[in-house]
Amino acid sequence: MKLKQIIESNDTRTGKTVDLFIQVMIVLSLISFSIETLPDLSEKMVKWLGYLETVTVAVFTIEYVLRIAVADKKMHYILSFYGLIDIVAILPFYLSTGIDLRSIRIFRLFRLFRAFKLLQFSTAANRLGKAFLDVKDEFIIFLMAAMFVLYVSAVGIYYFENEVQPEAFKSVFHCLWWAVATLTTVGYGDVYPITAGGKIFASVIVFIGLGIVAVPTGLIASSLTASMKNTDDEERSGL
Amino acid sequence: MKLKQIIESNDTRTGKTVDLFIQVMIVLSLISFSIETLPDLSEKMVKWLGYLETVTVAVFTIEYVLRIAVADKKMHYILSFYGLIDIVAILPFYLSTGIDLRSIRIFRLFRLFRAFKLLQFSTAANRLGKAFLDVKDEFIIFLMAAMFVLYVSAVGIYYFENEVQPEAFKSVFHCLWWAVATLTTVGYGDVYPITAGGKIFASVIVFIGLGIVAVPTGLIASSLTASMKNTDDEERSGL
Amino acid sequence: MKLKQIIESNDTRTGKTVDLFIQVMIVLSLISFSIETLPDLSEKMVKWLGYLETVTVAVFTIEYVLRIAVADKKMHYILSFYGLIDIVAILPFYLSTGIDLRSIRIFRLFRLFRAFKLLQFSTAANRLGKAFLDVKDEFIIFLMAAMFVLYVSAVGIYYFENEVQPEAFKSVFHCLWWAVATLTTVGYGDVYPITAGGKIFASVIVFIGLGIVAVPTGLIASSLTASMKNTDDEERSGL
Amino acid sequence: MKLKQIIESNDTRTGKTVDLFIQVMIVLSLISFSIETLPDLSEKMVKWLGYLETVTVAVFTIEYVLRIAVADKKMHYILSFYGLIDIVAILPFYLSTGIDLRSIRIFRLFRLFRAFKLLQFSTAANRLGKAFLDVKDEFIIFLMAAMFVLYVSAVGIYYFENEVQPEAFKSVFHCLWWAVATLTTVGYGDVYPITAGGKIFASVIVFIGLGIVAVPTGLIASSLTASMKNTDDEERSGL
């Protein structure tokens, strides 16, 4: 069946064109979503964004229906990750036509799931996903170590700073925000130690903790790169 | 002896359940410790946290007694790292029942040592520990280099900024705080050079120093990763 | 032809001297450009900078004419990357003598293109350029992943912070600025989450996102290094 | 000659003790130097720091004289790097006894050179030094690239931000400070773009530039580690 080939793979020219068209629609939809958050939009703009939204949902609905139509195991597709993303991407629109759900903030957020539709077309995403599975074990170990360091940092700074800065270092939970901002070296500057003890503690913990907290980051980076090289080699030797 | 097996190893199903139960108690205890730091707690909450604390200490005490009971060399366990952690985790509670030590801040901090009890159950911690021993020598060298760079940075910025910002750059010790915050790239923004000379000096030192200061961090990260891969390979080839 | 040799290569002593002279002129021109941006320049200084500019343009014009003269395929050189840079570096000066275009800010910016003239003499630039081509594919994949993470971060923080900080997190576009500043760990501190939800979201996204966003950076770094080592080896074995 | 052995090498027990003693004196001297910068020192403290200074200089003078005495090529030692450091470390003290030079800030700074005396005893410093020579070429190339990126960033942000923030982005030189703080991800938050154009430019340049600027840092780190491993292997195989 030719339609099946066009929708499910991108080997043919028509298939590629359809894929590209849907990707452009997704990106347009995400941009229009961002524009809608701008304050002081003109009446005209709102109307045009509304038209675009209607067209987008129409396209996505046709795509969804066709994907079900051409699928061999229809239920399997509907309940698959991408099948659920596809329905979540359009459902809020239909629900909101009956009752006015647009005003509900969280509901509008569902439109964001359209971004995940992009992953469907992306070999890059597949490769990143595979690469991540390779380092899953190490990642979990380091993540636990990072959380341990974060907790110890937070409790430590609480004891040094709580008395002089009762507002910024109100509780251990508030101190965790400081710990995250510091150990990832983001360092906004909204909270920082001012006592001598707090500064010395922060200095020591930054040196010790940086290595542990930086590891998950560096680990993903290096493993992804390595994993991608392997995929390249396999593809090359496979041909 | 069956009890010995349950407590000292986690090969059996019961052993695993006991281990998991104690780990959950530790995490609960750490969370309750964090909640206690929250201001404006309701009377009821304080009471419930007190109950939880009592139960926790009871469990840890039973665990401690059993661990001594099943140990072949009892004194050896009591004086081991984990043995000391175990006693430190419960002792403050018993001491504070007689006299009211709870009000003493530092005393409450001892409860934090319970976090280290978690390490006992963690193969991840063991592997991280071993990996760290592998890079100990390089780490010390770089740490000394980092301290040298930090000191030179602090003295340099002191001479440039002390006159115009006598409060923020009061002494070489105060400047060390700037040096740490800058060379780890945390950069809170509470202290920064404002003179032309200070800015030029800071720019140069950031480029030179970053490499030196970043090395201990990166060194741990890369060596840990390498060391963990080796452990993986050994385990795999060992089977 | 001897002139050709002097201008197009730097094998001879005269060729090297000419190259060095032009490089010094470029750097002087860039410094004088920077000095002109200083406010409160003395009349005398402005006059001297004007003289320097005239001399610089004269030298660059002679260089440009000679390069065309000695080129085998004159049109090919004129339309090449460096040919276009060469003409853009001098054209604004001649245009501005007729009409007073100097006041037009953007026009003055064209003088910056002289910086790119430096690349012509730089084997370093060539090697970096080649090294970058080696990692182009991986770079594009990670860049797309980074953009995806940035977009999701921006939308997420918008929903958490927009209500309490309507000015700083005005729209998704404003939130993108926060996402860039946070995920690159620059963390100026001009915008940061203040709600509990925003802080938790930011903490999670920083850990997940850092790896993805840091990858393009680390990827270029490591690949450039590797690529440069290869070039070194080839050069050595080629001799 | 036994004295020669004690001073120039640390193979013997006495040699090691002498070395350690001098190192302790250096560290004490650096700490006392830092304490002197503290404001509001008591009279007594100042007196004791003065005594310590006298003793330190006496020890360093004896060391210097002995080093000359045992050196085979005396002039060669005097003019060597460590010979110059040794004299600079004590000279200011003797000069300041005649005329009161202590009040001259820059003169006191010379005492800092004592820190470099530490390098003499440090095999770590030697190894770091050797390792650095290995990557010198790559380092210079990347440093030039980094400076190029910094300059382009500074000029770019000047054109975007100068009009709205004439104080913070006064000239290209002032913008360089922003460029350094941003591309090293320190991000103090004293200067940051506020225009839409400036923010977009900053976002793009941070992604492009980070790789280039981060490279010298990462390069030193990775090469030092690699170089140190080689030294380890050589030492091991050499025995």
Q: What is the ipTM of this complex?
A: 0.82
* Cβ B134 vs Cβ B121: under 8 Å: no
CA A159 vs. chain centroid, Å, equals 35
* Cβ D185 vs Cβ B207: under 8 Å: no
Q: Which residues contact A140 (CB under 8 A, 6 or more apart)?
A: B124
* pLDDT, average across residues A146-158: 89
Best of A37, A117, A191 to disrupt the C interface (most C CBs within 10 Å) is: A37
Q: Chain A partners of C207 at a C-beta cutoff of 8 Å? A: 143, 146, 180, 184, 216-217
pLDDT computed for residue D227 by the predictor: 62
How far apart CA A182 and CA B33 sit, in angstroms, is 22
Element (H, E) at A177: helix A172-183
If asked whether residues B151 and B116 sit together in one domain, one would say no
C81 vs B98: which has the higher pLDDT: C81
If asked whether residues D111 and D12 sit together in one domain, one would say yes
How far apart CA C100 and CA A51 sit, in angstroms, is 48
Does C233 fall in a domain? no
If asked whether residues B82 and B152 sit together in one domain, one would say no
CB-closest option in D30, D35, D217 to B211: D217
Average pLDDT taken over every residue of chain A: 80
Does the pLDDT of residue C185 top 70, yes or no? yes
Does the pLDDT of residue C198 top 90, yes or no? yes
Q: Chain A partners of C153 at a C-beta cutoff of 8 Å? A: none
Residue entry with tokens 């890079």: B135
pLDDT computed for residue C239 by the predictor: 44
C93 vs A99: which has the higher pLDDT: C93
If asked whether residues A82 and A177 sit together in one domain, one would say no
Q: For chain B, list residues whose CB is within 8 angstroms of any CB belonging to chain C.
A: 185, 187-189
If asked whether residues A142 and A112 sit together in one domain, one would say no
Q: Check which CATH number belongs to the domain holding D139 and give it.
A: 1.10.287.70
Q: Check which CATH number belongs to the domain holding B108 and give it.
A: 1.20.120.350
Best of D136, D188, D213, D232 to disrupt the B interface (most B CBs within 10 Å) is: D188
Look up residue A2 and give its two tokens.
């030719």
How far apart CA B200 and CA D176 sit, in angstroms, is 10
Q: Do D185 and A189 touch (CB under 8 A)?
A: no
Does C128 fall in a domain? no
Task: Give the C-alpha distances (Å, rounded to integers) separating D192 from A30, A234, C187, D216.
Answer: 28, 46, 10, 24
* Cβ B188 vs Cβ B208: under 8 Å: no
- Residue ending a domain, choose from D68, D98, D121: D121
Q: Which residues contact C146 (CB under 8 A, 6 or more apart)?
A: C183, C212, C213, C215, C216, D207
Nearest to C151 by CA among C182, C181, C173: C173
Backbone angles phi, psi at B15, to 5 degrees: -60, -45
How far apart CA A201 and CA A179 sit, in angstroms, is 12
CB-closest option in D105, D112, D187 to B187: D187
If asked whether residues C172 and C203 sit together in one domain, one would say yes
Q: For chain A, list residues whose CB is within 8 angstroms of any CB belonging to chain B.
A: 138, 140-142, 144-145, 148, 151-152, 154-155, 158-159, 162, 166, 170-173, 182, 185-189, 192, 194, 199, 202-203, 206-207, 210-212, 214-215, 218-219, 222
Per-residue pLDDT band for C38 (boundaries 50, 70, 90) equals confident
pLDDT tens across the length of chain D (239 residues)? 577 777 777 677 888 888 888 888 888 888 888 888 888 888 898 899 889 988 988 999 998 999 898 888 888 988 988 888 888 888 878 877 666 545 555 666 677 777 777 777 666 677 677 767 776 776 777 777 788 889 989 998 998 998 899 989 999 999 999 999 998 888 899 999 999 999 999 998 887 777 666 666 666 666 666 666 665 555 555 44
Does C173 fall in a domain? yes
- Residue ending a domain, choose from C52, C86, C121: C121
If asked whether residues C15 and C109 sit together in one domain, one would say yes
Per-residue pLDDT band for B195 (boundaries 50, 70, 90) equals very high
A&B contacts, CB < 8 Å: 102
Does A127 fall in a domain? no
Task: Give the C-alpha distances (Å, rounded to integers) separating C206 from A184, B200, C96, C157, D46.
Answer: 8, 31, 49, 12, 49
Exposed/middle/buried for residue D238 (C-beta within 10 Å: 0-12, 13-18, 19+): exposed
Average pLDDT taken over every residue of chain C: 80
What are the pLDDT digits (tens) for B134-157? 767 767 777 777 888 899 899 989
If asked whether residues A198 and A95 sit together in one domain, one would say no
Half-sphere CA count of B42, side-chain side, radius 13 A: 3
* Cβ B231 vs Cβ B127: under 8 Å: yes
Q: Do D189 and A185 touch (CB under 8 A)?
A: no
If asked whether residues C172 and C74 sit together in one domain, one would say no
If asked whether residues C60 and C9 sit together in one domain, one would say yes
What are the pLDDT digits (tens) for B5-15? 777 776 778 88
- Residue ending a domain, choose from B92, B121, B150: B121
Nearest to C21 by CA among C112, C134, C121, C106: C121
Q: For chain B, list residues whose CB is within 8 angstroms of any CB belonging to chain D.
A: 138, 140-142, 144-145, 148, 151-152, 154-155, 158-159, 162, 166, 170-173, 182, 185-189, 192, 194, 199, 202-203, 206-207, 210-212, 214-215, 218-219, 222
Q: What is the gyration radius of the CA atoms in chain B, in angstroms? A: 24
How far apart CA A94 and CA D104 sit, in angstroms, is 79
| CA distance, residue D37 to nearest chain B CA (Å) | 5
Half-sphere CA count of D208, side-chain side, radius 13 A: 13
Does the pLDDT of residue A194 top 50, yes or no? yes
Residue entry with tokens 């037009």: C104
Boundaries of domain holding A106: 2-121
What are the pLDDT digits (tens) for C110-169? 777 777 777 766 666 776 777 677 767 767 777 777 888 899 899 989 989 988 999 899
Q: Mind giving me the DSSP string for D53-88? A: HHHHHHHHHHHHHHHHHH-SSHHHHHTSHHHHHHHH
Percent of chain C with pLDDT over 90: 18
Does D75 fall in a domain? yes
pLDDT computed for residue D239 by the predictor: 44
CA C136 vs. chain centroid, Å, equals 18
Per-residue pLDDT band for C229 (boundaries 50, 70, 90) equals low
Best of A143, A175, A185 to disrupt the B interface (most B CBs within 10 Å) is: A185
Q: Do B173 and D124 touch (CB under 8 A)?
A: no
Does the pLDDT of residue B165 top 90, yes or no? yes
Does C148 fall in a domain? yes
Q: Mind giving me the DSSP string for A119-144? A: HHT-HHHHHHHHHHHHTHHHHHHHHH
Does the pLDDT of residue A177 top 80, yes or no? yes
If asked whether residues B20 and B104 sit together in one domain, one would say yes
| DSSP one-letter code for A111 | G
* pLDDT, average across residues B22-29: 88
Helix (H, G, I), strand (E, B) or coil at D203: helix
Q: Which residues contact A57 (CB under 8 A, 6 or more apart)?
A: A90, A93, A94
Q: Do D127 and B148 touch (CB under 8 A)?
A: no
CB-closest option in C185, C188, C189 to B185: C185
What are the pLDDT digits (tens) for A101-141? 455 556 666 777 777 777 776 666 676 677 677 767 767 77
Per-residue pLDDT band for A239 (boundaries 50, 70, 90) equals very low
User: How many structural domains are present in chain D?
Assistant: 2
Does D126 fall in a domain? no
What are the pLDDT digits (tens) for A34-88? 888 888 888 898 889 889 988 988 999 998 999 898 888 888 988 988 888 888 8
Look up residue B129 and give its two tokens.
């520990």
Helix (H, G, I), strand (E, B) or coil at D107: helix
Does C235 fall in a domain? no
E-strand spans in chain D?
none
Does the pLDDT of residue A185 top 60, yes or no? yes
pLDDT computed for residue B239 by the predictor: 45
What are the pLDDT digits (tens) for B65-104? 998 988 888 899 889 888 888 888 888 788 776 665 455 5
If asked whether residues B117 and B147 sit together in one domain, one would say no
* Cβ D150 vs Cβ D213: under 8 Å: yes
Q: Mind giving me the DSSP string for A20-50? A: HHHHHHHHHHHHHHHHHTSSS--HHHHHHHH
How far apart CA B215 and CA A188 sit, in angstroms, is 23
How far apart CA B171 and CA B159 sit, in angstroms, is 10
